[in-house]
Structure 1
Amino acid sequence: MKDMGARQLNNSEKYLGLLVMVGRSKYNSFRVIKDRVWKKINNWKNQFLSPSGKEVLLKAVIQAIPTYYMSVFKHPKNLCKEIAAQMAKFWWRFKKDDHKIHWKSWAKMGTAKSGGGLGFREIESFNMALLAKQCWRVLTKPQSMAAMVLKDKYFRHFTILDSNLGHRPSVMWRSLWGSLELLKEGLVWRVGNGRQINI
C-alpha cells in the first residue's frame, strides 16, 4: 500500500470537516461538538453580559456550531441534552463560579417569545429537521451527485420515500432514513396544471 502512495486512515480523519469513519460509539465520535461548545462558553464566563447579549451569543454562535454535523448525522440524545445543559448553565450564570437557580426549563425557553419563551432551538428536533431537509433535497433534486449516489446504493428502484433501511447501512443513510417520517408528515399534494394526475 505504501508503495502505491496510499495511506491508512484513522477514526479521527475528516473530509470537508466531517468524520470519515464513525465508530460504534457515536457519542465519542461527535463529542468534539460538545467540546467546541464548552470552549466557546468557557471563554465568555468572565465577561459581564446582559441577557440580550447572552441571547445573541447563544443563538448566533453556540447554536450554529453543530449545524453542519447535524445536517448529515443524527446525534445521540444524551449528547444533545448535554449541549442544551451547557447553554442553560451559561444563560442562568452571571459569574464564572456563580450557580443560579434555573427558573424555567430549557424546553420552555425554546418556545416562541409570543408563548413566553426566548426561541432557543431544541437541539434534537433541530437535528431531525435538518436531516429531513436533506431528504427533501434528494427528492426534489434527483440529478444532484448526492441524490444519485444514495439512489444507486439504497433505493435504486424506488423513490427515497419508499426506501428501506437496507442491510448494513452507513451512519449517514441511517440518519437520513430516520427522518423520513418527519418529512412525510409535512408533505402535501400540489395540483398545479393537473397533467400528472390520473383520475
Structure 2
Amino acid sequence: MNCFKLPIGLCNEIEGLIRKFWWGQKGDKRKIHWVRWEELCKPKSEGGMGFKDLALFNDALLAKQAWRLLHNTNSLFYKVFKSKFFPNCSIMEATECHSGSYAWRSILVGRVVLKEGMRWRVGSGAKIKAWSDPWLPSEFLPYVTSPPARGFEDVTVSSLINQDPVSWNMPLLHDLFHSRDISLIKSIPLSNIAVEDKLFWPFTPSGLYSVKSGYHFLCKAQSLDDHSYQLDSDGIWKKVWGLAVQL
C-alpha cells in the first residue's frame, strides 16, 4: 500500500474480513452488523472505532511518496524518477505517460491528495497565481471564488501587494474580489523582508506532510461530500472514552 494503488475490490475484500472478525462471524453463519462500516471508520473522537478506510489510507500513503519527490531532491529515489518521468518540470506538473510503470501511476494518485490539501504560503507572491492556485487560509476551499475580471485571469498575488510599504492593495482587492475572498486575503500576514513563496501542508504544525494528517484530511473531505461530518465542539466523545468503567 505504501508503493502501489490497490484495486478497490481488494480493499473491499480486506475490509469485509475485518467486519466479519469484529462482529464475530464464523464461517457461513452471519451475524448482524449493528453499525455501518462508515461509522466504525470514524475517529473515536467522532463516535467511531477508528478503523481505517483502506482505499483512503492507501491514497494517504502514496501521497507520502509524492511529497518525497517534491522535497527530497537529493535522494536516489528522486533522481531516478525525475530523469525518467518528469525531467523538465516538478512532480506537480508531471503528466501520466503510457510507458509509465504502475508505481509511477500510483504515485500520481498520491499527488492528487497533495494538490487537494497543499497550500501556498505567501511571500513575495510572484509564484502564486491568484485565481488558479490554493493560497487562501481556508481548510477545504483555499481557492478564490470570485470570477476573474477581464485581463486579470493570469495575474500573480504579487500584483495585489503594495511594495512601499508592504501591504495589501485594498482598493484593488475591493475591485476584484467578493467580501469572502477579501476577508481571507486580509488575514494573510505579509513580510517586509523578501521571502519566497512556499508550498506547505497546513494540517501539521511543522507544515510537513504526514500519512496520519493526510488520511484525516481525506476522511474529512469525504464526510463533507457526504454531508455527514459533524464537529464535536464539546468534546463529548473524548469524555465518553475517558470514562473509567468496568465490564
Same fold (TM over 0.5): yes
Instruction: Give the structure 2 partner of residue 48 of structure 1.
Output: none
How far did residue 95 of structure 1 move?
5.9
2:36 is aligned with what amino acid? S
- Cα distance in 2 for partners of 1:141, 1:103 equals 46
- Cα distance in 2 for partners of 1:160, 1:82 equals 32
Instruction: Give the structure 2 partner of residue 103 of structure 1.
Output: 34
How far did residue 96 of structure 1 move?
6.6
- Structure 2: unaligned runs, 5 residues or longer: 124-192, 198-247
Q: 1:114 to 1:151 in 2, by over 3 A?
A: same
Report SS of the residue matched to 1:156: coil
- Cα distance in 1 for partners of 2:66, 2:26 equals 43
Q: Among residues 43, 48, 60, which one is paired with 1:129 in the alignment? A: 60
Report SS of the residue matched to 1:117: coil
Higher relative contact order (Cα pairs below 8 Å, separated by 6+ residues): 2
- Structure 1: unaligned runs, 5 residues or longer: 1-69
Instruction: Give the structure 2 partner of residue 180 of structure 1.
Output: 111
Deviations 1:114-149 (A, max 9, x none): 222101110000000000111001111011111111
Deviations 1:35-55 (A, max 9, x none): xxxxxxxxxxxxxxxxxxxxx
1:195 is aligned with what amino acid? V
1:131 is aligned with what amino acid? L
Matches within 5 A, 1:117-196: 117-191=48-122, 194-196=194-196
- Cα distance in 1 for partners of 2:109, 2:95 equals 10
Conserved 8 A contact 2:41-2:48:
yes
Instruction: Give the structure 1 partner of residue 231 of structure 2.
Output: none
Deviations 1:22-77 (A, max 9, x none): xxxxxxxxxxxxxxxxxxxxxxxxxxxxxxxxxxxxxxxxxxxxxxxx11000000
- Give the number of the structure whose alpha-carbon radius of gyration is greater: 2
Report SS of the residue matched to 2:121: coil
1:82 aligns to 2:13 (yes or no): yes
Report SS of the residue matched to 1:129: helix
Report SS of the residue matched to 1:189: strand
- Cα distance in 2 for partners of 1:194, 1:101 equals 62
1:135 is aligned with what amino acid? A
